[in-house]
Amino acid sequence: MTHRRTGFRAGRRVLTLLTAFGALAGAALTGAAPAGAVQDAAVPVASGVTYQEYDLQAAKGPTRIHVIRADLRDPKVRLDLLYPGAVAARAPVSQLADTQGAVAGVNGDFFNITETQHPGVEATGASVGPAIASGHPLKAAVPDGQRFGPALPPGTSTRDVLGMGVDRRVRLDALTLTGTIGTWENRLPLGGLNQYALPVGSVGAYTSAWGGASRLRATCGTDTDRAAPCSTDTYEVTLRRGKVVATADTPGSGPIADGTTVLVGREGGAQQLRKLSVGALVRVRQRLVATASRVPYRFAVGGYPVLTDGAPLPGLDATTSAVRTAVGVSDGGRRVLLLAVDGAAPYRTGLTIAEVADALRDLGAADGFSLDGGGSSTLVARAPGATAVTVRNHPTGGAERPVPNGIGVFSTN
């Protein structure tokens, strides 16, 4: 893994500042850095994609920012979800990007990283919010109280997403799961899809997209307390081509074959599933419904909004500084910037969420979206002529943290 060298290099930076502003004046993909920033000129990555870095004096100290800009007006450019082929799995961003052929990318959603409160239960590594990859819904959102990550700003939820529609425009939206579990005699609401946590009293569906991780975590905690004990009233039903083929009192683990759906119930949901006998015919329907857009999503990733229509959301944390990853959207969703804070020691104090919103706005974004930060913050990009990406920031742990998903920038030259 190759990193750019850090350090202020103050004398060279002054000259860089002057030359960079001259280069930026006519650049279509770049915008002005925040006031007081010292920036390098934008470097082409691929058609419609550039990389840039700059130094910024934040409230708690100096911070280095890394930025990828993608112009979706270029028909060669698109975004999609980076993920390791299963919801409950993790891999480094550079590996995800190279495997899928992305020219740049950042880490994505917050995720189920640890389970210290539930002895004997393993963390699944699955993300918090909804996810769509190449037009295929992968998962829905866990209850707000089951979320990992910092406190959500007022008015936001785990259902919030940043997504790109089939019209190639990027939007901030929310995706809610709707669905049913139907038999000849009864119809139950579907409470979850490939989630590491199910609402109390519900039934969730798990498909081959989930992966091989244990489904036991789905029955732990409550809608308001992630650390609450695991439920003692659970039941699992396995469907193959719409027919019940197996039942169990405790959620299991292992890969789920194509054409197979595993239903996991807790409390009231478990009681309903116990009514199903082997051989019964069951139909499961599910879809993710957008709050704002009528345009189907090509890709979506979870996180939370910090900037809408050029205005920071009210109540953003202005005191806690940290290494961050975020996305900015401008020009009616046709231009996107991916931002990551450097985690090297001189810059590790980072930004507050309020400063993230301000930085995105100063870079020209109208809307902004926060992703997972800290040790997860990773931004990668190809060097001109390279066939693999390079990690451009310094992850705080000294190496990339495996993550469940990310945002990939693709460009066909």
Quickly list DSSP for 204-249.
EEE-TTT-SS-SGGGGBS-SS-TTSPBPS-EEEEEEETTEEEEEES
Co-location of 184 and 241 in the same domain: yes
The residue whose two tokens read 């109540």 is: 315
pLDDT digits (tens, 9 = 90+) for 222-245: 999 999 999 999 999 999 999 999
**Spans in the chain with pLDDT lower than 50:** 1-30
Co-location of 308 and 269 in the same domain: no
List the structure tokens of 126. 């699955």
Identify the pLDDT of residue 40. Answer: 73
Identify the pLDDT of residue 3. Answer: 38
Write down which residue in 290, 319, 350 finishes a domain: 290
Co-location of 318 and 364 in the same domain: yes
Co-location of 255 and 327 in the same domain: no
Q: Sort residue 385 into left (φ over 0), alpha (ψ -120 to 50) or beta.
A: left
d(CA 53, CA 246): 55
List Cβ neighbours of 53 (8 Å cut-off, separation of 6 or more).
4, 39, 40, 64, 65, 66, 67, 342, 392
pLDDT digits (tens, 9 = 90+) for 315-330: 999 999 999 999 999 9
Is 1 a domain residue?
no
| Domain ranges, residue 325 | 36-108+303-411
Is 344 a domain residue?
yes
Co-location of 81 and 49 in the same domain: yes
Is 102 a domain residue?
yes
Co-location of 311 and 276 in the same domain: no
Q: Which of 317, 320, 295, 319 is nearest to 304 (CA)?
A: 317
Co-location of 307 and 405 in the same domain: yes
Co-location of 263 and 337 in the same domain: no
Distance of CA 284 to the CA centre of its chain: 26
Write down which residue in 244, 259, 290 finishes a domain: 290
Co-location of 216 and 278 in the same domain: yes
CATH number of 206's domain:
2.60.120
List the structure tokens of 6. 């850090």
Identify the pLDDT of residue 185. Answer: 82
Q: Which of 101, 75, 142, 63 is nearest to 321 (CA)?
A: 63
Is 148 a domain residue?
no
Is 296 a domain residue?
no
Write down which residue in 255, 290, 325 finishes a domain: 290
Is 400 a domain residue?
yes
pLDDT digits (tens, 9 = 90+) for 249-259: 999 999 999 99
Amino acid 70 reads A
User: How many domains are there within the chain?
Assistant: 2
- Which pTM does this prediction carry? 0.91
Co-location of 271 and 340 in the same domain: no
Identify the pLDDT of residue 155. Answer: 95
Is 62 a domain residue?
yes
Q: Where does residue 139 rank: exposed (0-12), middle (13-18), buried (19+ CB within 10 A)? A: buried
Q: What residues pair up with 236 in beta bridges, in sequence order?
A: 248, 264
Identify the pLDDT of residue 41. Answer: 82
Strand, helix or coil at 355? helix
Co-location of 322 and 386 in the same domain: yes
Co-location of 323 and 265 in the same domain: no
Is 164 a domain residue?
no
